[in-house]
Structure formats: C-alpha cells, structure tokens
Structure 1
Amino acid sequence: MALKAGDMITFERTFTEEDVELFTRISGDEGAHHLTPDERGRLVVQGLLTATLPTKVGGDYNVLARKMTFEFFRPVFTMDTILCEVIIDQFANQGGRTLITASFSCRNQEEKEVVRGEFSGVIKNQ
C-alpha cells in the first residue's frame, strides 16, 4: 500500500506480563512497579515498551526514524489493550528517498489516551 498525507494506520496490542519481563531484561528498567504486581495483580508496562506501538507501524513501512517525541499521560498495565492510531502528516518524495512525518495517539481499552507524539524520518526509495 502506498502511503499519502492524511492516511491513518492503526495497530493494537495487549501487553502481557511476559512482555514486561522480557523488556525489563533487555532494557535494565527494573523499577519496582515493573517487578511487583499491584493490588489487582498487574505490572506497570515500561513507557518505552508502550512507545514501541508507533515504531512498529514505522517498521512496517521501512521508515528510518530521525526524530521521535512522546508525551505520556497515564500508566499502561499488563493485560491492557492499547490502540495506536498514526496519521501521516507529510509524505513527500525527494530524490532517492521519501520524507515522512506522522503524529500518533495511543488509547487504552477505556478510550483514555496513554501516550501521544510525533515521528519523522525517511524511506529509501527502491
């Protein structure tokens, strides 16, 4: 699918305890809230693990990221299902590459925004 400005791409993921455990080992982010369940048996998902949602969309389109910004609003817990909506703001061919900028918003299963931000980068034309 060829992208164009104005397109929306969505991706949904439910975070598991195993996801948090793996990311803890890889990142070294061992805050107590990532290791100790709360009163409902949930772990807090690392912010940067949540931030992989828009990066997955970028990866699907071979975007080489140049800049990413994130604003985190509320915690994400294990077993939360997060929907990420990415809007393509700019998609412009420039020689042997395409410049892309996009904004995104991620909401939990209760429709509450958990993170929003923007990214920009390039796609090498084939």
Structure 2
Amino acid sequence: MAIVMRPSQSLRLWQQVTLAEVKAAAHDLTMRQMAILLTVYLDPPPHTVRGLAEKLGVTKPVITRALDTMGALKLVSRHRDEKDKRNVLVKRTVEGALFVERFGDVVIDKAAELPI
C-alpha cells in the first residue's frame, strides 16, 4: 500500500507528530536516538552496537552515548553477547515497546487529521 503525499503534507505530518510529542511531555529523543530506537524495534534482532553504528554511518562511541540515554529511560537494554564477548547486544524492553507503539499511534492519528 503506497501513501501518496506532497512534500508539504509530509512536513506538516512530521510537525504535528513532533508537536504532539512535545505537548505530551514524552521522552525528548534526538533524531539519532529515535533512528536507533526504531531500528531496534522495527528490524529483526540481533542488534549490536557495531551493527547500529554501521547502519547509521556513525562511530560506536556515538551509538554508545545514545544508548546510555535510552538505557536510562529504559527504552532499550544492553548485554554482552555470550557467544562473542566483543559484541554488545542491544535488546528491546517492555517500556521501549510501549513507547514505540504509542508513537506509532500518534503518527496514525496525526496522519488522519491531515487535510486531503
């Protein structure tokens, strides 16, 4: 199913979603943190710090800093890979799953409000 929008409509949707998030006093995630979070929740696991860094085109320390914040918010957790101790696995949490699901609902609600 393809959704057809003009650029101005897609930007209006993005604006409305971000305004709703600010007004809801939801977690104030950066674009990078949101990209990591959505990757962890929408792409099949396993997710590693190294893999996320490659996917986002940033260094591992950049991912680690973002994960520090998201871990403190309980949106993701990190664990040493038992099979390969060099890897750190990034895992989903209940709190993170609820956040992502609620965020998806906000996107749907705001898209439905767009003028045709």
TM-score normalised by L of structure 2? 0.28
Structure holding more helix per residue = 2
The structure whose residues are more often strand, as a share, is: 1
TM-score, length basis structure 1: 0.26
